[in-house]
Amino acid sequence: MLRTFACASVLALLLAPLPALAQQRAVPDNRAQVQFSLAPVVKQVTPAVVNVYGTRVEKRPQNPFFDDPFFRRFFGDGGFGVPQDRVQRSLGSGVIVEPSGLVITNNHVIENMTEVRVALGDKREFEADIVLRDPRSDLAVLRIKGNGPFPTAPLGSDDTIEVGDFVIAIGNPFGVGQTVTQGIVSALARTQVGISDFQSFIQTDAAINPGNSGGPLVDASGHVIGINTAIFSRSGGSMGIGFAVPAAMVRTVLASAKEGGKSVRRPWFGARLQVVSADIAESMGMERPTGALVVSTLPGSPAGAAGLKSGDVIVAVDGRAIEDPDSFGYRFATRPLGGRVAVTILRGGKRADIPVELAAAPERPAREALTVASNSPLRGATIVNLSPAVAEELSLQGLSKGVAVQELDQGSTAERLGFQTGDVVLAVNGSEVETTKDLDRVMRSRASYWQVTINRKGQVFTTMFGG
């Protein structure tokens, strides 16, 4: 069972105390080397590791009798039957990456939270603003509301690490306080994990437990190579299988936050891909099933403009081999916007490098966001026109028609009736919906029943609701 937790573990190399040896990989050959301490790296990084606390107060509906002075005379403010506000809390970890107070943590740590506080290792506590949330990578950026400069941990490169490297993780497991654990890199580019949209995780056996999510995974030289995000567990505790979002994705999210964006701008490829099966590999004369098979390309997309065709097999990005569509998505999405990237394909048994433009998905048509206020099943849902940019943000591959649910107000009619973020509304009461204006017009009509057709993750179905 896969669990996402707040992680603050810092994994480090046994030879860390000697900076000159930090880049060398060697098995200890004497007892003295084995007895080297991780303390220098821990002292370097821990001041930048923070505990993250999120809270949200849920107002419960109140009976009008509770406002009556006569009633309150007998029952008081907290008397029998008076509904109490419910406070939800979350606990996680984070790491400061900018002296101004920018903190990287997991999105699931602060998801739905309205107030966030961070506590530093020196016992100082500050309120923090949520600068950017990125559910697709399960990362979020906070800004400490205090006077800097703050201690920082430098971002490293996940491209330089290898399986077997020693690492350390730092965090606040179970709320016991800042804790350091040590292990090795167990695997790289783990896909098919199901944690987020971009599947290319660093796997480690460093102990990661509830409260560790958002904490750093650190190499021997004290550089953050990943953000601990999830563990595989049957008990809820560490079983030696943990996953971290690589530093390259952290840089992409951080860049958008520093530019003032409310969402992450990534390169748009514009093609539907699938896994290369053993049968497909054999039919194409491949030695083994690897890469990503191009099923189709969208008109006007970078993939289409570059000349990629159905049946091409993508095997590398900028010379780095990719194993499946997930690893391609990660490699492509972490390239900076602007310029081109070399995509290596197999076509007709021959390899070819095709330059693909690194451009953001266009927002055509404009979103024209609509928050439904009429007495209808979609009341409380924010709907936007579907565009390549919206499709990228909501992971709606291959869809180009209709309007999409971008957000749901908590406790709204739409949420209670089961609508989900990413649902694409195709028709209401038999009327086709192509724009938010179409939806607004249909929703304003009085109806004794509602018939809504939606596309949810490729499945199209129609649901009936009473008027």
Is 138 one of the annotated binding-site residues? Answer: yes
Q: Which value, to the nearest 10 degrees, does the dihedral of the CA atoms of residues 56, 57, 58, 62 take?
A: -170
Tens-binned pLDDT, residue by residue, of the chain (467 aa): 555 544 333 333 333 444 444 456 677 777 766 667 778 888 899 999 999 988 876 655 455 444 555 444 444 554 445 455 566 677 889 999 999 999 999 999 988 888 899 999 888 999 999 999 998 889 999 999 988 799 999 998 877 888 988 899 888 877 777 888 888 988 887 776 666 677 778 888 888 877 788 899 999 888 999 999 876 655 555 566 888 899 999 999 999 999 887 788 899 999 989 999 999 888 888 888 999 999 999 888 999 999 999 999 999 999 999 988 988 988 999 999 999 999 999 998 889 999 999 999 988 889 899 999 888 899 999 999 999 888 888 888 767 778 999 999 888 899 999 999 999 999 999 889 999 999 988 888 777 888 999 999 888 999 888 76
213 is in an annotated binding site: yes
- The 3-class SS string of the chain reads CEEECCCCEEECCCCCCCHHHCCCCCCCCCHHHHCCCCHHHHHHHHHHEEEEEEEEEECCCCCHHHHCHHHHHHHCCCCCCCCCCEEEEEEEEEEECCCCCEEEEEHHHHCCCCEEEEECCCCCEEEEEEEEEECCCCEEEEEECCCCCCCCCCECCHHHCCCCCEEEEEECHHHCCCEEEEEEEEEEEECCCCCCCCCCEEEECCCCCCCCCCCEEECCCCCEEEEEEEEECCCCCCCCCEEEEEHHHHHHHHHHHHCCCCCCCCECCCEEEEECCHHHHHHCCCCCCCCEEEEEECCCCHHHHHCCCCCCEEEEECCEECCCHHHHHHHHHCCCCCCEEEEEEEECCEEEEEEEECCECCCCCCCCCEECCCCCCCCCEEEEECCHHHHHHCCCCCCCCCEEEEEECCCCHHHHCCCCCCCEEEEECCEECCCHHHHHHHHCCCCCEEEEEEEECCEEEEEEEEC
* 213 noted as active-site residue: yes
Catalytic residue among 93, 213, 233, 327: 213
Distance CA 170, CA 189 (A): 22
Cα-to-chain-centroid distance, residue 163: 24
What is the amino acid identity at position 191?
T
**Predicted pLDDT at 40:** 85
- Is 138 annotated as catalytic? yes
Is residue 223 part of the annotated active site? The answer reads: no
Of the residues 9, 108, 165, 221, only one is catalytic, namely 108
CATH number for the segment(s) 271-357: 2.30.42.10
Q: What is the pLDDT of residue 3?
A: 54
pLDDT score at 430: 87
Asked if 1-19+36-265 and 370-466 have one fold, the answer is no
User: Domain segments of the chain: what residues?
Assistant: 1-19+36-265, 271-357, 370-466
For the domain spanning 1-19+36-265, the CATH number is: 2.40.10.120
Class of domain 370-466: mainly beta
Q: Which of 138, 158, 312, 326 is flagged as catalytic?
A: 138
Annotated ligand binding at 211? The verdict is yes
192-245 tens-digit pLDDT: 666 667 777 888 888 887 778 889 999 988 899 999 987 665 555 556 688 889
